[in-house]
Every structure is written in structure tokens, then in C-alpha cells.
Amino acid sequence: MKGLLLKDWYVLRRQWRVMFVFHVIYAGLAAFSKMAFLFAAMNVFVGMLTVQTVMALDERSKWESVAVTLPVTRRQFVLERYAVGLLSGGFIALLTEAVMAAANLLSPGKARFFGVSGMLTVFACGCLCMALELPVLFKFGTAKGRIWMIAVMAIIGGLTGGAAALTDGANLNSETAGQLLAGFSLLSAAGILAAALAVVAVSFVISLKAYEKREF
């Protein structure tokens, strides 16, 4: 699996230079926006979309037709994709946390900062989004997977907007949601992340079964 990870890194390293700048800017927006939680969660989720980029490039180059002839099982192949998503999301979560912390130091009282527990919760949200997306990518490929991603994003956006509208009268918005996240205990955040990773594990099993049935 190490070889697969290295292959994906060589494929993505040029794109990551541009994406790194994008993620830093987005993290800065999270630090100074009233919708800090939404910006931070979207930043982590977009980081996890690295998996979709890799899979799209592999499909375009017919890499999977070659990969099935290598001494790598389909289980290892699927596991590597999930590892790429988790590593990318984890890195972006740490980057977002670092940028927000730096902004808070430079502009105390103006910039928002979740803390470790809040960022663990944000990372958990990214894990749940990835868990929804990857089984479809492994089952149908990236073309239909993009359609699914748009549908998921639309649903998440609708739920977020609906929740914001319903809670507006109670003065519970994205800003106060971020404050609640910052106030989470580390144990609570770890519990949320553990639950999210359990969902990812179920997603992995579904993806593996779907991928084992595909023919190349």
C-alpha cells in the first residue's frame, strides 16, 4: 500500500501546491467570518475530495486496468483510497487550526479559534461526507460520483440553511455554533470523531464489496 500512496503523491504534488494556497485562504476566511464553522468544515471536506481527483485521473489514464494485474489486492486498493482521504482531511484540519490560531494571536478578539476539540469535530464532519461519497465512486465511477457529490452538497446546504432559519429566532447561528464547538470537551469531541470513524469503517466495507464486483 505504501507504493500506492507514493504513486498518488507523485500524481497530486503539483496540484497540492495550488490547493495549499486555496486552503490557507479558506482557513483565513473561517477565522474572520461569522460562518466560521461552515468555512472550516468545507475546507476539510474539499481536502478530502483529493480522493475523487486521484480516482478521476486513474480512470482517465486507465490505471485501474493495470492495477488489477499488480500484486495488490482490491482490499488494499480501497483501503489506500480511504487512507488518502483521511490523511488529506487530517492535514487540512491541522492547517485550518494553525491558521485560525495564528489569526487569533494577531487579532485577539476579532479572529475565531475553535481549539483542538472543535477542530476534531470539524474533521468528523468531513469524515462523514467522505463516507457518503466513496461507496458511490467505487460502485459507479467518478462521473456519476460527481453527480452524487453535488446532490450531497445540495442536501447538506439545504439542511444547514434550514437549521439556520429555524434557529434564527433562538439566536443560534453559525457563529454561536462555532462557540459551542470551541466549548466542547476533548472527550466529547473524541467521542464524535470515534462515531464518525465507525461510519467510515462501514463505508469501507460497502465500498470494498462494490469494488470487488467491478470489471476492468
Above 60 in pLDDT, residue 162? no
The C-alpha angle with vertex 118 and arms to 163 and 167, in degrees rounded to 5, equals: 15
155 vs 23, more confident: 23
* Distance of alpha carbon 181 from alpha carbon 197, whole angstroms: 19
State the pLDDT at residue 157: 61
* Distance of alpha carbon 29 from alpha carbon 134, whole angstroms: 28
Residue the block writes with cell 460527481: 146
Predicted model pTM: 0.79
The C-alpha angle with vertex 95 and arms to 203 and 113, in degrees rounded to 5, equals: 100
Above 90 in pLDDT, residue 161? no
State the pLDDT at residue 197: 94
Mean pLDDT of 6-11: 82
What are the distances in angstroms from CA 56 to CA 53, 140, 141, 205, 213?
Answer: 5, 12, 8, 21, 19
* Distance of alpha carbon 111 from alpha carbon 102, whole angstroms: 9
Write the pLDDT tens digit of every residue in 56-109.
Answer: 888 888 887 777 777 888 899 899 999 999 998 888 888 888 888 888 777 776
Grade residue 170 by pLDDT with cuts at 50, 70 and 90. very low
CB atoms within 10 A of CB 155: 11
168 vs 81, more confident: 81
State the pLDDT at residue 199: 95
